Amino acid sequence: MTIPAHRRAFGEHLRALRQANGHASQEAFAHHVGLDRTYISGLERGARNPTLDVIVKLARGLDVSPAEMLATIDA
C-alpha cells in the first residue's frame, strides 16, 4: 500500500508536535486525548486518515489550532 504524501506529512507533523508538547510516548498521548495507542501509531505512520473530529481532538490535546495540525499539507 502506498501512503499518500499528505498523510505521511500529517503523521510526521503530529509526531513532532506530540514530542514537543512533552508526550514522549504514543500511549500516554493517546490516553490524554481519549484515543487508542494503535490509532495514534497509524496516524503517525500515515496509515490512518483522520476525520475532522479527530483532528480537532488532537489539536486540543496539543494546545494548537486545527489549522496548525494541517500546516505541513501542501494544497
Domain ranges of the chain: 5-69
Note the pLDDT tens digit of each residue in 2-34.
999 999 999 999 999 999 999 999 999 999 999
CATH annotation of 5-69: 1.10.260.40
Q: Within 10 Å of residue 28's Cβ, how many Cβ atoms? A: 13
Note the pLDDT tens digit of each residue in 49-64.
999 999 999 999 999 9
**Collapsed DSSP state (helix, strand, coil) of residue 34:** coil
pLDDT at 1: 73
pTM for this model (two decimals)? 0.93
Q: Which three three-digit cell numbers place residue 71?
A: 500546516
Q: Does residue 74 carry a pLDDT above 80?
A: no
